[in-house]
Amino acid sequence: LQAGYASHEAAMAFRAIQLTLFLAFPILTVTICFLMDWALSTIVVWGAIGAAIGFYLPRYVLRKKIASRQQRIRWALADAMDLMVIAVEAGLGLNAALNRVGEELGTTHRDLHRELELVNLEIRVGRPREEALRNFAERTGVDDVRSFVALLIQADRYGSSIAKAVRVFADSLRTQRRQRAEQASQKAALKLLFPLTGFLFPVIILIILAPAALNLIDVFGGL
């Protein structure tokens, strides 16, 4: 669900892919090792490595898809907050505001649009709004969405102004986005240090010292 696969067969398909790769990778590696006439111990080691890769590769891909989708939802949430403030201040109720915001996000933020559609469908079929919102937070797995859901539930339960609460939350959310962007930029400088040290600096040193080295070679060659 957090990766965006809402089908009932999604978990079964994932396990089937994992089991297939868990069997296929060692068979493929063992076959290649036999064709290359390697030693039995080497074949066993490569077979175990192939089995480990086949087992953990689907989990790695799934985690990457979850992280990518959560990032898209996290960036779309601030725009959704602004739209919700406008909708609530225009006189719409919470259910109608969620429905309207979901419609407006259909072309720009597809992931959040689908999640809000599911929330509205659950409410329409008779599920309590609090439960539908909690399911929304559970499906996404995003901390900002959990905070937003808790805010809506508290505001609805105690009768406070939803527009004011959402506006304050939207401001804090944009501040958090700016802080995350600054943190990412600071990490980028540290990440660039290793490729610069490993690839750029040796080339610069070689360019600077190469003429002197050639001159020394000529001098000692003449002697």
- pLDDT tens-digit series, residues 138-163: 999 888 889 888 888 888 787 777 88
**Residue 6: in which H helix or E strand, if any?**
none
Q: Which residue has the higher pLDDT, 189 or 47?
A: 47
Q: What is the mean pLDDT of the chain?
A: 86
120 pLDDT exceeds 80? yes
Query: Is residue 189 predicted with pLDDT exceeding 80?
Result: no
Give the mean model confidence (pLDDT) for residues 179-205.
80
The phi, psi pair for 60, rounded to 5°, reads: -65, -45
Residue range 46-62, pLDDT digits in tens: 889 989 999 999 999 99
Assign 191 a pLDDT band (cuts: 50, 70, 90). Answer: confident
Q: What pLDDT, on the 0 to 100 scale, is given for residue 193?
A: 79
The fraction of the chain above a pLDDT of 90, given in percent, is 17
pTM score = 0.75
Determine the average pLDDT of the residues in 184-188. Answer: 80
Q: Which string of b and e fits 155-180 if b means at least 16 CB within 10 Å?
A: beeeeeebbebbbebbeebeeeeeee
In 66-196, where do the E strands start and end? none
Q: What is the pLDDT of residue 223?
A: 62
Distances, alpha carbon 188 to alpha carbons 131, 202, 203, 204, in Å: 40, 21, 22, 22
- pLDDT at position 14, please? 93
Q: What is the mean pLDDT of residues 62-69?
A: 94
Which residue from 129, 172, 135 is spatially nearest to 154, judged by alpha carbons? 129
CA–CA dist 45, 40 (Å, integer): 9
What is the Cα Rg of the chain in Å?
28
For the cut 90, the answer to whether the pLDDT of residue 212 exceeds it is: no
Q: Which residue has the tokens 């406008």?
A: 86
- Average pLDDT (81-95) is 84
Instruction: For residue 111, give the nearest of 167, 60, 66 by alpha carbon.
Output: 66
Contact 30, 169 (CB under 8 A): no
Provide the pLDDT for residue 67. 93
At 172 the pLDDT is 82
Amino acid in position 38: W
The Cβ of residue 38 has, within 10 Å, a number of other Cβ atoms equal to: 14
Q: Which two tokens stand for residue 75?
A: 């960036």
The two tokens of residue 79 are 């725009």
Among candidate residues 62, 105, 113, 108, the one with its CA nearest the CA of residue 86:
105
Residue 222 has pLDDT above 80, yes or no: no
The CA distance from 40 to 123, in Å, is 61
pLDDT in the model for residue 171: 82
